[in-house]
Structure 1
Amino acid sequence: MGEQTVGVVGGGILGVAIAREVVRRRPGTEVVVLEKEDRLAAHQTGHNSGVVHAGIYYRPGTLKAELCTRGRLLLREFCAEHAIPYDECGKLVVAVDQAEMGRFDALERTATANGVPGLRRLTAADITEVEPHAAGLAALHSPATAITDYVAVTRAIADEVVAAGGEVRLSSPVVGIRRSGGRVAVDVAGGAPVVVDHLVVAAGLHSDRLAGMAGEEPSPAILPFRGEYLAVSRAKQDLVRGMVYPVPDPRYPFLGVHFTRRVSGELEVGPNAVLATRREGYRRRDVSAADLRDVLTYPGFWHLARAHWRTGIDEVVGSASTRAFMRKASRYVPAIDAGDVVRAGSGVRAQAVDRDGSLVDDFRITQADGVTLVRNAPSPAATSSLAIAAHVADETW
């Protein structure tokens, strides 16, 4: 690769992890990270649940399955090295009725194939030994599932990039990408173009728009889904030791409303999955006409809506009503109900959707003419970030 220049668009955990991988592998390479906000980890990275996944859900043989397993180990080592909180508090995935047992058995086979460490199948009686206030017919216990502080991880990775001679530019929104003379010119609002030999785009909620700027196929498009959280009262936040999840519906990439501890000691319930009316719309009143237009004019949205409108209505009802929200969650921890929670924060998930309405499930990374595009990197992208960065480097150089 020689004395080249590499640009990375995106200041979330994945963007800085890719920059770190470049400076570690190729000392002397000029690396610049361009982040449109005035801080790192401003969006998906800074609004997620903090969970470090162990690989329970992902179809064996996919990038998600491979890179989640490798990424969890790399992340654990990184957190230990940098004294960042990393708590293996464990997770239960609980089946609460007989109709779920077929999906539950399939999930156990998937988790086993992925080598989830310490995985155990629990009976109803066993569940309370792990989580005394949880209830269900059966559960999968993943003791290696952990929680961490992804904002702190992102900052620590960025510090390594800067210490190795790389540059992190905040408040640098990209407004254009041009290929010229074998190089890539990146236009930045209010500043001179940044010219690099190779560009990596890890722009999360705007990955499709950046791909369009680079002249690439606009599909898959990003549909933003807001995930809302409720905070459990201090009086009951110790009723869950780790995490309690439902058995997910394999038709969707979302894991369902669940109980999750934070490294701060707080306990949260969520997230749901409601179509957002703004790509960075963390509040119900946040609306962007341009973002909404992009959703409503994309054929994939209408295919998706026709196939899953009942689920969409159910999610909207849960968003509007705390009682409806908690009606689902309380099935798993009956001692916590609507009177024990208050509205908390929210995040927005960048969900890639193909033109036929198919939800893109696996990580999708493409390359063309000096530009690498991370087109889809939803959960467990934070868990997998260091491994995804190595994968991008392996495929690019």
Structure 2
Amino acid sequence: MYDFCVLGGGIVGVATAHRLLTKFPGASLVLVDKESALGAHQTGHNSGVIHSGIYYPPDSLKARLCRAGAQWTKEFAAANDIPFEVCGKLLVATDSAEHARMLDLYERSIANGVDVEAIDAAELVRREPGITGVGALFVPATGIIDYAKVTAALADQVRAMGGRIMLDTTIDAISETDSAVTVSGPTGSTTARTLVVCAGLQADRMARMAGIRTDFRIVPFRGEYYRLPAARADLVSTLIYPVPDPALPFLGVHLSPTIDGELTVGPNAVLGLAREGYPKGSVNARDALDVLSFPGVHRVARNHVRTGARELRNSLFKRGYLAECRKYCPELTSADLLPHRAGIRAQAVLRDGTLVHDFLIERTPRSIHVLNAPSPAATSSMPIAEYLVDQL
């Protein structure tokens, strides 16, 4: 019997295993994942941004853990020779309505203790000649990194501390007694005194296996990206984001320099019919039934008809996607948008149609489950892990 079992090999799961072995040296631990490599889903399919915490309500877990996570990520990367860059981010307002939201966001960022600067249209063009708007917020602490490399470095340290990592191991049952939890699947079973589940896109299913009553469903939202030609990779020197709509958990289509020298554009947010289907048009019968039969999804669709229609149109037609980008980067052309890999966001949606914005964590006597950990979970991975271990 192990002292700890962690389900999920994304960055949050691996960070949690690392934190457990750091806090309880000598403990026995196993991390289990169904894929053949760590970080195969959200960790390996994001835009690689080290977020600052500017967007989130000051009293939320997201705000607190993101600020701590940004600092930890930079320090861990520096200590482990993982390339990263603190390039800063500009949130660009393109009209008066966005400018008003920008000023609200400025006040929130001050309340969150985030270093931020409000600049006017002339200063925006001076800093980024290819970008236009009526004003912007500059967040100097935002950076870029490859989170797959962070995950790999954490995993190496988990193994060095005596942890075991089991890949290609599917779990289809969880049973809990007063003294232990057993997870089992086609290849066998594993028993531990304490279970931590960081299952991402499968979080609701794992919770139900453990007997947790869930009034939500994990809904996959495809984030489709383009990349710019290599000759255009120096179009901007900072991350360029639109001012987000506070009613939605998505940040909008942005220009993102990557740590390997590319410049990506995206993502949009399109309802997916496969939790782990990255090619366009992917459908998984079980996942599609889960989405289409859940009342909360129908309510989300009714509440956001115009937004959903726009996102679908932009997915189907490059011209619509380009129009979103040209609001703040008018020199982009259709020829600039080259194919790039997609990501899938695991978004918890309640039965009443509410999109869960904050991290969501539940527990049983011998297990703890991360049920909702969207962006900025990669940035916040170690503070999330510390929070989970403190809860135990």
Q: TM-score, normalised by structure 1?
A: 0.97
Task: Give, in angstroms, the shift of residue 331 of structure 1.
Answer: 1.4
Look up the match of 1:198. 194
Look up the match of 1:381. 377
Look up the match of 1:65. 63
Change (3 A) 1:218 1:267: same
Superposed, 1:317-396 pairs within 5 Å as 317-396=313-392
1:208 counterpart = 2:220:
no
Quick check: 376-385 or 303-312, which moved more? 303-312
Superposed, 1:39-188 pairs within 5 Å as 39-117=37-115, 119-188=116-185
**How far, CA to CA, are the matches of 1:341 and 1:356 in structure 2?**
37
Q: Percent of aligned positions with the same letter in both sequences?
A: 46
Quick check: 258-267 or 121-130, which moved more? 121-130
Instruction: Give structure 1 regions of 4+ aligned residues with deviation exceeding 2 angstroms.
Output: none
AA aligned to 1:63 is: L
AA aligned to 1:394 is: D
Quick check: 60-69 or 324-333, which moved more? 324-333
**How far, CA to CA, are the matches of 1:337 and 1:237 in structure 2?**
14
AA aligned to 1:370 is: R
Task: Give, in angstroms, the shift of residue 181 of structure 1.
Answer: 4.1
Task: Give, in angstroms, the shift of residue 341 of structure 1.
Answer: 1.4
Look up the match of 1:265. 261
Unaligned 5+ residue runs, structure 1?
Answer: none
**How far, CA to CA, are the matches of 1:28 and 1:145 in structure 2?**
36
Paired residues of 1:220 and 1:375 also in contact (CA < 8 A): no
Secondary structure at 2:371 match in 1: strand
Secondary structure at 1:235 match in 2: helix
Paired residues of 2:2 and 2:191 also in contact (CA < 8 A): no
**How far, CA to CA, are the matches of 1:370 and 1:179 in structure 2?**
7
**How far, CA to CA, are the matches of 1:218 and 1:352 in structure 2?**
10
CA RMSD of aligned residues (A): 1.1
AA aligned to 1:148 is: I
Paired residues of 1:258 and 1:269 also in contact (CA < 8 A): yes
AA aligned to 1:355 is: R
Look up the match of 1:304. 300
**How far, CA to CA, are the matches of 2:128 and 2:213 in structure 1?**
47
AA aligned to 2:369 is: L
AA aligned to 1:106 is: D
Task: Give, in angstroms, the shift of residue 4 of structure 1.
Answer: 6.0
Paired residues of 1:64 and 1:362 also in contact (CA < 8 A): yes
Paired residues of 2:184 and 2:190 also in contact (CA < 8 A): yes
Task: Give, in angstroms, the shift of residue 284 of structure 1.
Answer: 2.0
AA aligned to 1:179 is: E
Unaligned 5+ residue runs, structure 2?
Answer: none
**How far, CA to CA, are the matches of 1:57 and 1:203 in structure 2?**
25
Secondary structure at 1:239 match in 2: coil
Secondary structure at 1:39 match in 2: coil
* Residue among 227, 233, 237 paired with 1:237: 233
**How far, CA to CA, are the matches of 2:259 and 2:45 in structure 1?**
14
